[in-house]
Amino acid sequence: MKAISKITIGLFAAAVLIVGCNDGAKSVSQANVSQTVTEASLGLRKTDLYTEASTSASKTEYRSAYAGSSSKIKRAFQDAPPMIPHNTDGMLPIKIGDNQCTGCHMPEVAISMGATPIPVSHFTNFRPRNKIINGIFRNEVDNYKNETSIKETTHLQGARFNCSQCHAPQSQGNLAVENTFEAAYTSKDGASKSSWSGTKLTDGLETLHGGKNFVTQDDIANKNSPAGVSPWKHN
On whether residue 49 sits in a domain, the answer given is no
Per-residue pLDDT of the chain (235 residues; tens, 9 = 90+): 545 555 555 555 555 455 555 555 555 555 555 567 777 667 777 777 777 777 777 778 888 888 888 888 999 999 999 999 999 999 999 988 899 999 999 999 999 998 989 998 899 988 888 888 899 888 888 878 888 888 889 999 988 989 999 999 988 777 778 888 888 898 899 998 888 877 777 777 777 777 888 888 888 888 787 765 545 444 4
Q: Indicate if the alpha-carbon torsion angle 81, 84, 88, 91 is positive or negative.
A: negative
Residue 163 resides in a domain: yes
Q: If 0-12 CB within 10 Å is exposed, 13-18 middle and 19+ buried, where does residue 105 land? A: buried
H/E element, 211: none
Cα–Cα nearest to 127, from 144, 147, 151:
151
Which domain does 207 fall in, by range? 62-171+186-219
How many CB atoms sit inside 10 A of residue 27's CB?
A: 10
Whether residue 229 lies inside any domain: the answer is: no
* CB-based contacts of 221, cutoff 8 Å, min separation 6: none
* Torsions phi, psi for 93 (to 5 deg): -80, 155
- Positive or negative, the Cα torsion across 40, 41, 44, 46? positive
Classify residue 24: in a domain, yes or no. Answer: no
User: Domain holding 66: CATH number?
Assistant: 1.10.1130.10
**Residue 144 belongs to some domain of the structure:** yes
How many domains does one find in the chain? 1
Q: How far apart are CA 25 and CA 133, in angstroms?
A: 79
DSSP-derived pairing of the beta strands 136-138 and 124-125: unpaired
Q: Is residue 109 part of a domain?
A: yes
Task: Report which of 95, 117, 96, 123 is spatially closest to residue 105, judged by C-alpha positions.
Answer: 117
Whole-prediction pTM value?
Answer: 0.65
